[in-house]
Amino acid sequence: MNGAVVLTSRRRPAIWYWLIVIVLAGVALTLALWPRSGDVQRRDPDRRLYVNVKRAVSGGKIKLDGRGDAVDEYVIYAGVRAPFPKEPYFEDSMTRNAELVVGKEVRLRFGKQRTDAKERMLAYVFCGDEFVNETLVREGLAYVRSTKTNDRFSKRLLKAQKEARKRRRGIWKDRVWTRESSYFGDPKYGNFHRRSCEETDRINPARLRTFKSAGRALDEGFAPCAKCKP
């Protein structure tokens, strides 16, 4: 345009521009504060927790190594019940657990219930490609104990238990079951009992399960009570 003067004006940035700036600043700050891979505890995108193991307390319980970070926590293995002290194979189960995890970094995966009544973590433990809970069950060093809040890997664990029972490994080698007319099961805790067991009085009748044999209870992921020894 001959001789025309074009006038321009600066526009103020739109509100969406400032929103983007704020979001990007927040992301940058989060990344700066995110734990590094060498930290005792770290998370990955799948929300799995990585921890270092100090020692095995039993076949189903470990103590974490805080390395000066004041982390003095215990982890209870979810979905299984290892032998308790004075039960057969307690030492074997604890020793094998130690071989699998002590001095190593493991990752914890969780079910719906992340802690027990004592605020200890309930977790499925993986060391590398090994599913530790499953290994202990397959080798006959733990029972499957599935509940509504921790049944994430119940199919895998029951398959491993079926193999251990068939091959009579560990706890299944000399296990002699009582011959009751029926047994009571508590889905909340994943245990089954003899009808005369004192623990049955504490079970809410609304959730009580009845099994015709111990085998039926085991097939559904119920572990034997350590008190009445069904």
What pLDDT digit, counting tens, does each position of 8-48 carry? Answer: 445 555 677 767 777 787 666 655 555 443 444 555 555 57
If one looks up domain 42-175 in CATH, what number appears? Answer: 2.40.50.90
User: What value does the mean pLDDT take over residues 181-192?
Assistant: 96
Least confident of 17-31, 76-90, 104-118: 17-31
Domain ranges of the chain: 42-175, 176-230
Give the dihedral of Cα atoms 13, 16, 21, 25; nearest 10 deg.
160
Asked if residues 184 and 203 have their Cβ atoms less than 8 Å apart, the reply is: yes
Distance from C-alpha of 38 to C-alpha of 190, rounded to nearest angstrom? 37
- CATH fold of 176-230 reads DNA Methylphosphotriester Repair Domain (3.40.10)
Q: What is the pTM of this model?
A: 0.78
Average pLDDT, the chain: 86
